[in-house]
A and B are shown apart, each in its own frame.
Chain A
């Protein structure tokens, strides 16, 4: 039986957040109990705090980047033709339109990579995130979505903390990218056995 797609590895997610907190708490406890003063106290308070912030800021991204770079090599070696690759926020989608396959890597599940036949995609569509009425009409997120094994995968092509008009350059570029990806998924689906 084929493995089901998991977007989030709960153990990794909890470890990502809580392991640095636990390590910091242990070091702080150790500092308070045994080294209330001096160089050791500074090391026990500062180093774990700094390392935790470095991990939360860069650690996950580095791990994720390494994973999809490695996956790209694996795909090339296995004869997967990377016709289109979309590096989304927290998700990377590889599409082989010739052999009808889709490769997936998720930020919150870097231990796994997936290659699924495009025929398993139930549907794919674009969400332009349009909201508001009148002069307030606009969007702050454009994405393409597809459903595989009843799991909805959303990949953002544009995100912002501001709302942009629907005819703004950012939104139009995002829609164009999303339209292209949906077209590629549909194309791969036709070729998939």
Chain B
């Protein structure tokens, strides 16, 4: 059973990769990425996001033709393992067109999330 959970864990962003338990959401925040439609190229560099993301309260604050970015910080209650999921999307008439998903496990975005 444990082996099956281990195999399934990589496909679940909110599962701990060590103990395969569902992690709790520690922080969730919405941002706007000031890049125009079709001008975004997938990036993994956390600094790019910390330099460019603008904190917003709701999805409707994203102007037409610009990208949004959702950051979720997960923490395992068992082993304290932390993982941050960053997803870039293009909001179009209520639909989120997913552009890019990055995971950060070394605390690259911790300081940024505290701002």
Contact residues of A with B, CB < 8 Å? Answer: 167, 169, 172-173, 175-177, 179-180, 183
Contacts and interface: CB of A to CB of B under 8 A. Distances in A.
Contacts of A169: 97
Given A167-B95, A180-B37, A180-B64, 13 more contacts: A172-B90, A173-B37, A173-B90, A173-B92, A175-B93, A176-B37, A176-B64, A176-B97, A177-B37, A179-B65, A179-B93, A180-B65, A183-B64
A167 B93 CA distance: 10
B90 A177 contact: no
Q: Is the interface of A mostly helix, strand, loop or mixed?
A: helix
B36 interface: yes
9 contacts: A172-B97, A173-B97, A175-B93, A176-B37, A176-B65, A176-B90, A179-B92, A180-B64, A183-B63
A169 B37 CA distance: 12
A126 to B, nearest CB: 10
Interface string B3-45: 0000000000000000000000000000000001110000000
Contacts of B63: 183
A177 B67 CA distance: 12
A164 to B, nearest CB: 13
Contact count band on B: 10 to 19
A173 B64 CA distance: 11
B63 to A, nearest CB: 8
B38 A177 contact: yes
A173 B98 CA distance: 11
Interface string B63-99: 1110000000000000000000000001011010100
A167 B98 CA distance: 11
Contacts of B95: 167, 172
Nearest to A126: B93
A183 B65 contact: yes
A31 B50 CA distance: 70
Nearest to B91: A176
Contacts of A176: 37, 64-65, 90, 92, 97
A179 B38 CA distance: 13
Contacts of B92: 172-173, 175-176, 179
B64 A179 contact: yes
A175 B93 CA distance: 9
- The listed residue with most B CB atoms (<10 A of its CB), out of A169, A175, A176, A183, is A176
A114 B64 CA distance: 27
- The listed residue with most A CB atoms (<10 A of its CB), out of B36, B37, B63, is B37
A98 B92 CA distance: 25
Contacts of A167: 95
Contacts of B38: 173, 177
Nearest to B36: A180
A130 to B, nearest CB: 12
